[in-house]
Amino acid sequence: MKTSTFIRKGARQQTVPPGAKPSVHNGQLLISSGLRDFDSIVGGGLPVGSLICIQEDRHSQYAQNFIKYFLSEGLSCGHSLAYSLSPLNSINSFLPLNHTERLKAGQASVEDEEDDAESQQNELKIAWRYKEFVDQQVAAKKLRKTTTPITHQQKGTVSCHEYDLSREIQPEIFEKHKSNMTKLQPSNYKALLKDIYDRVKSLRSDASNRTATSILRVGLQSIGSILFNDNSQLIPFLYALRGLMRSSMSTCVFTLSKECISIDKLESLRHACDIVVDMNSFVGADIDVSDWEFKEYSGLLDMVKLPRINSLTTNFTPDSLNYAFKLKRRKMYIERLNLPPEETREASNPDRPKYQESQAAKAEESERIMRDLYGASEDQVMSCSGGVGMVHHHSKTSKIQDTLDF
Amino acid sequence: MTTFKELNNACQWEDDYAPLGQLILIRDRAPSDGSLFIHHLLNSYLAKQYKKGVGLVSLNHTFLHYQTIELKLNSNLLKEGENNNFHFVDAVQGLTQSFLGEEEVMQDNTLLYASPVNVTDVKKPQCISVWKPDSDLCESLFQHIRKHADKDCLIIDHLNPLLYAGDGGVYKLMRKLHELTKKENVTVVVAIHDCAADYRSEETRTANFIEHLSDITFRVSGLPSGYSKDVHGQVEVVYKKDKNTFDPPKHVKLHFKTMDHSAKLFAIGNV
């Protein structure tokens, strides 16, 4: 598509810091979260001056990836970073490998290609006739990767880099940007805010110069956990932090240990944030999803709150607020949660073994209920559950019928 | 304002309805947001051109946020400020200052009233004052309002950060504001986020307390059926006609949809 180079005479030149882009919806300055799927579901990117809360999954296994992506993207764009990680994490092992830089440098490894080839072979056991077509597609994909590293750009979404979660960041990139990173060592919320404030203050003089480092990314891991000894100060801290973000070119992403916080407090602190994401992983939830429609996913992701900065409504109106995420070997994916049509579901299809199993389980459960409630003999129970005629004889058994119907 | 004509019609209000001497409460529950009613009232009172104008106390957003939205709703806060019809109290920085215990926190930052895209060559508008809190948050805020934003209509968006001030400061502040409505014929609009999960929470108790005092209440909530792309929430307007009679308060329930430049309110089931 041709783009016009016309510039109105006397129009004010807008200087946008690197790694940022004004929103097409309301002109709000956006930066990337580092995860393209997430950028697109929050309206193109994270607004500068906002506070983003990621409610952790049970083991904080997946939520921490948001911080990884967020900080890494900041590093790639030359932004300043301030971070507070859990004591077990060190920053250089925490940040993932910058795959885009790797491709740019022509270091796309042999093992990557081997992986691709292997996966193709696995996929083409049945549809072998399409091998040529797939080969063409793979070749085109490789070509795109070499020419334009950032692919699949959605309209209005801030561009971002690709990362490989399975590997650590390249040492040369880490060393290059080391001076832009500040470790926050909080003992309590007040000290934490003070550290962030000092960092903001030191960058404030750069703000008018429009250098890359004038944008500050703050990443805080596991806020609200028992490592912070004064959780009564959590909500005032968040309001104060939001005020600080608003008055500076900063964006803060923090993960919240929701297991440590009561429900009413959780709802209160959502008001203090601009974007709230709730993550629930299947791991540790005592749920076996191997037979479910969600079996390919690692967990569910709900958009609890969307940003409303400089706008009466949210940046855009999504079709759904329910998403699912999955973690493949290198990357995290977020997809819209789509259930298959009702009739195709396993549970409602009588031809499928699962349906028969569920019916048997239902009958067994009803027998158990009747035994527990009325101490009925096994014969009576069988006749009650088998036919309706007998049930109508007694008021006692009509109650049982209700239970069964339910 | 024609945007909210449906609301005015449903409540049998005039098109330019902007009463004085009222306490108006906007209580919203997640996932819905009552900010559109703040803008509706702000717009209505600005359009009415009362002698002293409107004061907006923000504990939620910067001036830029309100200015951007009001421009879309055909109202310019900067111009209104120049005409002494509007005053903005920035209390967001005060919260940070209070928590840190610092003397001054980003008081003159251009980002408080200018877009990050255009921060250069922007002068601080005269209609903005920054609240500097002392040990008693609510009392110092009230004093600041009296000093800088002595207007016919006072809008507070929103009250929640002050709930953690302790010593029942919010209740004292509300009592004082209520007195203003009666003694000085000032309209006070207060927004508060309610907590649906626990009726014993501080938010809900405070919201109930203010609702008891208020003349008009907007209860904003999400749809009971969940998220919808076409209907963003519902509002229940409760207004007490005359407190001297025993008439029960009137309830009107409407659905709404917010768009970038406007909002649409409509009867339930009438998308």
ipTM of the shown complex: 0.91
Interface test with B, best of A46, A271, A317, A319 (most B CBs within 10 A): A271
Sheet holding A332-336, edge to edge: A181-183, A80-84, A216-223, A250-256, A51-55, A275-281, A299-305, A322-327, A332-336
Among residues of chain B, what percentage have pLDDT more than 70?
89
Q: How many CB atoms lie within 10 A of CB A202?
A: 12
- Identify whether A173 is part of a domain: yes
Residues in A closer than 8 angstroms to B93, CB to CB, are 243, 247
Q: Is the pLDDT reported for residue A385 higher than 50?
A: no
Whether A288 and A359 share a structural domain = no
Spell out the residues 6+ positions from residue B212 whose beta carbon is closer than 8 angstroms to its own.
none
- Identify whether A389 is part of a domain: yes
- Chain segment A195-211, per-residue pLDDT in tens: 998 888 887 655 555 55
Determine the pLDDT at residue A340.
Answer: 66
Six token digits for residue B263: 């909002």
The residue count for chain B:
271
Whether A100 and A61 share a structural domain = yes
Determine the pLDDT at residue B49.
Answer: 85
Task: Return d(Cα A176, Cα B218) in angstroms, integer.
Answer: 54
Contact (CB, 8 A) for B157 and B35: yes
Provide the β-strand partners of residue A276: A53, A305
Determine the pLDDT at residue A296.
Answer: 81
Contact (CB, 8 A) for A219 and A81: yes
Question: How many domains does chain A fold into?
Answer: 2
Mean pLDDT over residues A150-171, rounded? 72
Bigger pLDDT: A105 vs A54? A54
Chain B segment 182-221 residues within 8 A of A by beta carbon are: 193, 195-198, 200-203
Chain B residue with minimal CA distance to A193?
Answer: B100
Whether A266 and A368 share a structural domain = no
Mapping DSSP to helix (H, G, I), strand (E, B) and coil, where does residue A270 land? helix
Mapping DSSP to helix (H, G, I), strand (E, B) and coil, where does residue B24 land? strand
Chain B segment 37-96 residues within 8 A of A by beta carbon are: 39, 59, 61-62, 64-65, 68-69, 72-73, 92-96
Domain containing residue A283: 20-111+130-339
CA–CA distance from A43 to each of A24, A69, A293, A326, B47 (Å)?
9, 17, 27, 21, 33
Whether A186 and A324 share a structural domain = yes
Q: E strand or H helix at B239, and its extent?
A: strand B233-239
Determine the pLDDT at residue B187.
Answer: 93
Distance from CA of A320 to the nearest CA of B (A): 7
Contact (CB, 8 A) for B181 and B188: yes
One-letter amino acid at A235 equals: I
CB contact under 8 A, A242 and B68: no
Residue whose entry in the numeric block shows the structure tokens 């950028």: A39
Residue whose entry in the numeric block shows the structure tokens 């270091």: A107
Contact (CB, 8 A) for B71 and B262: no
Determine the pLDDT at residue A315.
Answer: 66
C-alpha torsion angle, residues B114, B115, B118, B124 (rounded to 10): 0
- Chain segment A57-71, per-residue pLDDT in tens: 877 778 889 999 999
Closest CB to B164 among A14, A236, A241: A236
CA–CA distance from A125 to each of A113, A117, A269 (Å)?
19, 13, 51
Determine the pLDDT at residue A403.
Answer: 44
Determine the pLDDT at residue A238.
Answer: 92
**CATH code (residue A240):** 3.40.50.300
Residues in A closer than 8 angstroms to B99, CB to CB, are 190, 193, 236-237, 239-240
Mean pLDDT over residues A11-18, rounded? 67
* A–B CB contacts, 8 A cutoff, strictly below: 146
- Identify whether A378 is part of a domain: yes
CB contact under 8 A, B35 and A207: no
Q: Does B166 touch chain A (CB under 8 A)?
A: no
Determine the pLDDT at residue A254.
Answer: 93
Residues in B closer than 8 angstroms to A263, CB to CB, are 197-198
Determine the pLDDT at residue A70.
Answer: 93
Six token digits for residue B67: 């200015």
- Identify whether A159 is part of a domain: yes
The residue count for chain A:
406
Find out whether the peptide bond into B255 is cis, omega within 30 degrees of 0: no
Residues in B closer than 8 angstroms to A313, CB to CB, are 232, 258-260
Chain-centroid distance of CA B20 in Å reads 15
Q: Is the pLDDT reported for residue B44 higher than 60?
A: yes
Strongest mean pLDDT among A24-28, A147-151, A211-215, B54-58:
B54-58
Q: Which homologous superfamily does the CATH classification assign to the domain defined by B2-104+124-221?
A: P-loop containing nucleotide triphosphate hydrolases (3.40.50.300)
CB contact under 8 A, B39 and A308: no
Q: Is the pLDDT reported for residue B118 higher than 80?
A: no
CA–CA distance from B109 to each of A182, A201, B62, B130 (Å)?
23, 11, 11, 11
Whether A298 and A174 share a structural domain = yes
CB contact under 8 A, A239 and B95: yes
Q: Is the pLDDT reported for residue B143 higher than 90?
A: yes
Closest CB to B111 among A15, A242, A247: A247
- Identify whether A3 is part of a domain: no
The region of weakest confidence among A305-314, A384-393, B30-39 is: A384-393
Residues in B closer than 8 angstroms to A304, CB to CB, are 30-31
Contact (CB, 8 A) for B162 and B137: yes
A303, A322, A339 - which closes a domain: A339
Report helix, strand and coil shares of chain B as percent, to nearest 5.
35, 20, 40
Whether A163 and A48 share a structural domain = yes
CB contact under 8 A, A26 and B260: yes
Task: Return d(Cα B129, Cα A135) in angstroms, integer.
Answer: 65
Task: Return d(Cα A294, Cα A338) in angstroms, integer.
Answer: 9
Checking DSSP bridges between strand A250-256 and strand A275-281, what pairing results, if any?
unpaired
- Chain segment A350-360, per-residue pLDDT in tens: 555 555 566 67
Distance from CA of B197 to the nearest CA of A (A): 6
Every domain of chain B and the residues it spans: 2-104+124-221
CB contact under 8 A, B35 and A190: no
CB contact under 8 A, B92 and A22: no
Whether A140 and A244 share a structural domain = yes
CB contact under 8 A, B93 and A243: yes
Confidence tier at A349 by pLDDT (50, 70, 90): low
Closest CB to A240 among B95, B200, B261: B95
Residues in A closer than 8 angstroms to B227, CB to CB, are 320-321
Closest CB to B64 among A14, A22, A310: A310
Whether A314 and A361 share a structural domain = no
Determine the pLDDT at residue B103.
Answer: 67
Query: For chain B, how big is the Rg over CA atoms in Å?
Result: 18
Checking DSSP bridges between strand A250-256 and strand A20-22, what pairing results, if any?
unpaired
CB contact under 8 A, A247 and B62: yes
Distance from CA of B210 to the nearest CA of A (A): 18
DSSP state of B249: P
Q: How many CB atoms lie within 10 A of CB A20?
A: 23
Closest CB to B227 among A15, A28, A321: A321
Determine the pLDDT at residue B150.
Answer: 87
Spell out the residues 6+ positions from residue B197 whose beta carbon is closer than 8 angstroms to its own.
A263, A264, A266, A267
Whether A257 and A291 share a structural domain = yes
- Identify whether A79 is part of a domain: yes
CB contact under 8 A, A312 and B35: yes
Nearest CA to A273 out of A235, A219, A311, A318 is that of A235
Whether A264 and A396 share a structural domain = no
Q: Is the pLDDT reported for residue A24 higher than 70?
A: yes
Whether A319 and A357 share a structural domain = no
Distance from CA of A209 to the nearest CA of B (A): 10
CB contact under 8 A, B106 and A309: no
Q: Does B229 touch chain A (CB under 8 A)?
A: yes
Angle between helix axes A189-204 and A234-246 (nearest 10 degrees) is: 0
Bigger pLDDT: B43 vs A137? B43
Confidence tier at A276 by pLDDT (50, 70, 90): very high
Task: Return d(Cα B109, Cα B146) in angstroms, integer.
Answer: 24
Contact (CB, 8 A) for B268 and B234: yes
Closest CB to A27 among B98, B100, B117: B117
Q: Is the pLDDT reported for residue B42 higher than 50?
A: yes
Whether A223 and A333 share a structural domain = yes
